Amino acid sequence: MSEEIEYNRRRFLGGAALTLAAATWPVSAKGATPLKQRSKNATNNFIAVGSENSKSIELYYEDLGSGQPVVLIHGWPLNGASWEKQTAALLAAGRRVITYDRRGFGSSSKPSTGYDYDTFAADLNALLTTLDLQKVDLVGFSMGTGEVTRYIGKYGSARVRKAVLIGTLGPYLVKTADNPEGVEASVFEGIKAAIKADRPAFLLDFLHNFYNYDVTAGKLVSERVVEANWNVAAQASAIGTLKCVDSWVEDFRKDILRNNVPTLIIHGDADRILPPDATSRRQAKMIKNVKFVELPGGPHGVLWTHADQVNDELLSFLK
């Protein structure tokens, strides 16, 4: 690895850079469309969202429980299974829980295109419309907060009851004349260079900083958790893993202003991946109906390390 790549990698992993940065049959719920009446686009836990050459692009999803629906959108470079602690808590509270794998990740198709937030929001829209979800709560973590924000900005809130952003990446990560709090664009080029040079090694370094592993190891997170996450990340699309970096620098400021639903923002105050000064603290000021919660000592991966606190806030807000 060249000195320039190593410099940018260390700059990113030290916290100056920001990254996003996460099967069962569907069941019908009260007020939901029965499975037999749902779109033919939803079969065997997959929803068709497009095509590339001769193959369909499909999203893998899981649909559990019954009651008020909540959709959980995972972070990079994980999949829907990263919500396991929240899924269990929501099901116990009587909620219908839908998780899905973003294109390029988990069990979803791994196309070469579509790794931008307009497409990601369109994929989410396909899920909501195919399953005919109404009065749904959208919960995004890290990169998944971009889907929530862009979806509302592009499609409106007619289907949405409440929104939750955990470890948010908004409002705009790149430093520009009208966004002096952002990060130099060269940092993201350094991240891409490091991924190209040695993606598996980069992912392990990323996950250590994701959990602040030097502080939380053996206390709040185990080596086995990091290992499991790495296995998921390493099996994701190499193309998608790289191309997602370009989506992180999209501008969400106009989308945020269209958010008119009650919104909860949760962020760890020790987040090295998406430090709150550059993200959540700014975004909270742009949303009218917002509750902002910071978790003392929380790293980026609070879904695991601070699961009880996250779940308490989530369940209380989504009542």
Residues recognised as catalytic = 142, 271, 300
Structure tokens at 5: 């790549």
Question: 238-248 and 185-210 helices cross at what angle (nearest 10)?
Answer: 120
Radius of gyration of the chain (CA): 18
Instruction: Kindly give, in sequence order, each residue whose CB lies less than 8 Å from that of residue 51, ignoring residues fewer than 6 positions away.
Output: 57
Cis preceding linkage at 171, omega within 30: yes
Q: Which of 213, 62, 240 is nearest to 143 (CA)?
A: 240
- Residue 37 burial (10 A CB sphere; 0-12, 13-18, 19+): exposed
Q: Which of 144, 121, 175, 177 is nearest to 74 (CA)?
A: 144
Query: How many Å apart are CA 156 and CA 258, to the nearest integer?
Result: 8
